[in-house]
């Protein structure tokens, strides 16, 4: 097998852009698998709660140098796996005739092995701790950056000023990332009802305005585009006419509520265009797709040929009594929530769209990884169910300074519990 080599060089005038992109990724994920493909540097990942998904391609044309010497031969083990694939193909064909369930299991195994060998030949994977990478990149804001293979199990970052003969080198250990790869075809193939392009600075102001009163931003499309939010202390609304947008395609009404915390993290990608006062930032646009009860899709174009996409799940909240909202006096004996003798009856809201139920089909099959994830979620659901009733009672009895945090904890517990039916179905299917 030929040696796997790679070398990527970023000119000094684009180092700040590259650094900003990586820093924006770090706001969403802690570990990242970078793939050096024939088209450029590809990445895809989700935050730990599976609420926000990010993918991007930094095109090879946007690098000063992009060279990879990829594998052209299979290892002895890979050759054995290829022979096993051919054997499994025969078993699969027989399994389809004799037993559909056997055929399906063999097909999953066959797909996993084919995908592994295809990746082995076509791309180089780098598992990186994104936080450590940000720390290294912050040590350089103006020198040419070169990323290349270092000693075994390491990647080297070299900084070279134009006038210097020598370079500064930071070597970082690669890591094994246990999370399963995400196949984006199912999400990319999702149809949306509406789309529009808008100036990034305008959305930045909307996020800042909405955060005055709430942690959730409502996005509605009818005749116009409307951003709004409402809290116990006030409300905010910003209505934008279609002719104020860069472009728009509104086919039907849609609405959704989205976590401002994630929108703030996503908007850090704006640093890739420059400071908020720079001309490039003021003229940068973002394209957004919407559909009721579907993830908000956002696409940012960077440099000449690169792009980054975000998918943000909508927030689903149950109406919760707000102790600070002014209401007509009501005669009550106590501030407790009555619970039937047989136990608490919690109405579970529908699942956020980006979750196991919508992207399970997109994961590359990996039984042990899926098993560990399911068992972990079962434990999380058990803990959430045991504590949610206490959180509901605390919402009624807490003081103003505690209310926001307890409400957030309560909503997070509901989202975890909402996965119970789906997780039990997957547990039953895998016979765990």
Domain boundary, last residue among 312, 333, 365: 312
Residue 327 within any structural domain of the chain: no
Q: What is the pLDDT of residues 368-383, one digit of tens each?
A: 666 677 777 888 888 8
* Within-domain flag for 159: yes
In which band, very low, low, confident or very high, does the pLDDT at 113 lie, cut at 50, 70 and 90? low
pLDDT band at 216 (very low <50, low <70, confident <90, very high): very high
CATH of the domain at 254: 3.70.10.10
Handedness of CA 278, 279, 282, 283 (dihedral sign): negative
Structure-block tokens of residue 397: 């009895």
pLDDT at 46: 87
Q: Tell whether the model's pLDDT for residue 104 goes beyond 60.
A: no
- Residue 93 has a pLDDT of 56
pLDDT in tens, 72-82: 455 666 567 66
Query: Is the same domain home to 366 and 257?
Result: no
> Domain check: are 25 and 149 in the same one?
yes
Hey, what are 97's tokens? 């005739």
Task: Report the residue count for the chain.
Answer: 432
Tokens 């307890």 label which residue? 406
pLDDT at 70: 55
Is 272 or 340 the better-scoring residue by pLDDT?
A: 272
Residue 208 scores a pLDDT above 90: yes
CB contact at 8 A, 217 and 260: yes
Residue-wise burial string across 389-400, b where 16 or more C-beta atoms lie within 10 A, e elsewhere: eebbeebeebee
Q: Does any domain span residue 347?
A: no
Give the count of domains, the chain.
4
For the ranges 120-129, 168-177, 358-367, which has the lowest average pLDDT?
358-367
Among 22-26, 86-90, 258-262, whose mean pLDDT is lowest?
A: 86-90
Give the Cα separation of 165 and 289 in Å (integer): 49
- Give pLDDT, residue 164: 79
**Stretch among 65-74, 289-298, 334-343 having the lowest mean pLDDT:** 334-343
Mean pLDDT of 4-13: 85
Minimum mean pLDDT range among 80-94, 159-173, 394-408: 80-94
State the burial class of residue 162 (Cβ atoms within 10 Å of its Cβ: 0-12, 13-18, 19+): exposed
Query: Do 53 and 158 share a domain, yes or no?
Result: yes
Mean pLDDT score of the chain: 76
Q: Give 152 or 275, the one with higher predicted confidence.
A: 152
pLDDT of residue 157: 95
**CB–CB of 311/187 below 8 Å?**
yes
Q: Are residues 38 and 146 in the same domain?
A: yes
CATH code, 160: 3.10.150.10
pLDDT value of residue 349: 43
Write down the pLDDT at residue 91. Answer: 59
On the question of pLDDT at 402 being above 80, the answer is no
Average pLDDT over residues 179-199: 79
pLDDT given for residue 412 in this prediction: 81
Same domain, residue pair 143 and 100: no
Nearest to 273 by CA among 24, 2, 55: 24
Report d(CA 34, CA 107) in Å as an integer.
28
The answer to whether 127 and 177 have CB atoms below 8 angstroms apart is: yes
Per-residue pLDDT at 159 exceeds 90: yes
Same-domain pairing of 209 and 227: yes
The answer to whether residues 116 and 142 belong to one domain is no
What CA–CA distance (Å, rounded) separates 51 from 310? 10
**Are 313 and 353 spatial neighbours (Cβ–Cβ below 8 Å)?**
yes
**Residue of 266, 264, 262, 272 lying closest to 306 (CA atoms):** 272
Residues 166 and 205 in one domain: no
User: Do residues 154 and 107 both lie within one domain?
Assistant: no
What's the chain look like in SS3? CCCCEEEEEECHHHHHHHHHHHHHHHCCCCEEEEEECCCEEEEEEECCCCCEEEEEEEEHHHCCEEEEECCCCCCHHHHHHHHHHHHHHHHHHHHHHHCHHHHHHHHHHHHHHHHHHHHHHHCEEEEEEHHHHHHHHCCCCCCEEEEEECCCCEEEEEEECCCCCCCEEEEEECCCCCCCCECCHHHHCCCCCEEEEEEHHHHHHHHHHHCCCCCEEEEEECCCEEEEEEECCEEEEEEECHHHCCEEEECCCEEEEEEHHHHHHHHHHHHHHCCCCCHHHHCCEEEEEECCCCCEEEEEEECCCEEEEEEECCCCCCCCCCCCCCCCCCCCCCCCCCCCCCCCCCCCCCCCCCCHHHHHHHECCCHHHHHHHHHHHHHHHHHHHHHHHHHHHHHHHCCHHHHHHHHHHHHHHHHHHCCHHHHHHHHHHHCC
- The percentage of residues in the chain with a pLDDT greater than 90, rounded to a whole number, is 32
Q: Is residue 320 a part of any domain in this protein? A: no
Dihedral sign computed on CA atoms, order 35, 358, 360, 189: negative
Q: Take residue 5 and report the two structure tokens written for it.
A: 């080599």
Question: Is 203 a domain residue?
Answer: yes
Of 146, 173, 200, the residue that ends a domain is: 173
Both 217 and 273 in one domain: the answer is: yes
| 389 or 352: which leads in pLDDT | 389
pLDDT digits (tens, 9 = 90+) for 284-294: 899 999 999 89
**Dist. CA 65–CA 81, nearest whole Å:** 35
418 within 8 A of 381, measured Cβ to Cβ:
no
Pairing mode, if any, of strands 124-129 and 31-36? antiparallel
Percent of the chain past pLDDT 70, that is, above it, reads 68
> Is 331 a member of any domain?
no
Average pLDDT for 96-116: 52
Q: Residue 217's pLDDT band (boundaries 50, 70, 90)? A: very high
Residue 123 reports pLDDT greater than 60: yes
Biggest alpha carbon–alpha carbon distance for the chain = 81
- Specify the pTM: 0.61
Confidence of residue 152 (pLDDT cuts 50, 70, 90): confident
Residue 241 belongs to a domain: yes
Return the minimum-mean-pLDDT range out of 34-38, 285-289, 304-308: 34-38
> Which residue has better confidence, 85 or 362?
85
215 domain residue, yes or no: yes
Q: Do residue 90 and residue 214 come from a single domain? A: no
Question: Residue 37: which domain range?
Answer: 5-70+123-173
- Verify that 211 and 117 share a domain, yes or no: no
């Amino acid at each position: 097998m030929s040696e796997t080599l790679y070398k990527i060089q970023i000119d000094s005038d684009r180092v700040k852009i590259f650094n900003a992109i990586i820093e924006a990724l770090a706001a969403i994920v802690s570990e990242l698998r970078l793939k050096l493909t024939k088209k450029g540097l590809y990445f895809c990942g989700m935050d730990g709660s599976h609420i926000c998904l990010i993918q991007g391609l930094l095109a090879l044309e946007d690098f000063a140098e992009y060279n990879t010497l990829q594998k052209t031969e299979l290892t002895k083990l890979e050759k054995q796996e290829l022979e096993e694939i051919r054997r499994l193909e025969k078993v699969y064909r027989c399994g389809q005739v004799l037993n559909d369930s056997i055929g399906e299991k063999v097909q999953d195994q066959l797909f996993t092995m084919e995908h592994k060998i295809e990746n082995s030949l076509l791309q180089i994977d780098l598992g990186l701790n994104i936080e450590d990478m940000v720390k290294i990149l912050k040590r350089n804001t103006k020198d040419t950056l070169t990323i290349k293979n270092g000693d075994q199990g390491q990647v080297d970052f070299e900084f070279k000023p134009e006038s210097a003969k020598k370079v500064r080198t930071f070597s970082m250990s690669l890591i094994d990332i246990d999370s399963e790869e995400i196949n984006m075809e199912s999400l990319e193939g999702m149809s949306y009802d509406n789309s529009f392009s808008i100036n990034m600075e305008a959305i930045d102001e909307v996020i800042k305005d909405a955060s005055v009163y709430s942690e959730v931003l409502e996005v509605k499309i009818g005749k116009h585009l409307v951003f709004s939010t409402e809290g116990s202390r006030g409300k905010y609304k910003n209505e934008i006419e279609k002719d104020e947008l860069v472009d728009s395609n509104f086919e039907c009404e849609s609405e959704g509520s989205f976590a401002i915390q994630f929108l703030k993290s996503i908007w850090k990608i704006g640093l890739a265009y420059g400071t908020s006062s720079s001309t490039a930032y003021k003229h940068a646009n973002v394209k957004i797709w919407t559909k009721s009860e579907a993830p908000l899709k956002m696409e940012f174009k960077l440099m000449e040929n690169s792009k980054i996409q975000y998918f943000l799940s909508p927030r689903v909240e149950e109406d919760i009594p707000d102790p600070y909202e002014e209401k007509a006096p009501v005669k009550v004996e106590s501030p407790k929530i009555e619970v039937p003798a047989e136990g608490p009856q919690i109405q579970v809201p529908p699942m956020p769209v980006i979750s196991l139920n919508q992207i399970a089909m997109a994961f590359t099959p990996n039984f042990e990884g899926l098993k560990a994830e399911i068992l972990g979620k079962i434990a999380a659901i058990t803990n959430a169910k045991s504590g949610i009733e206490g959180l509901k009672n605390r919402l009624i009895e807490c003081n103003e300074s505690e209310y926001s945090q307890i409400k957030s904890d309560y909503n997070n517990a509901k989202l975890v519990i909402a996965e119970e039916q789906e997780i039990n179905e997957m547990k039953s299917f895998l016979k765990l």
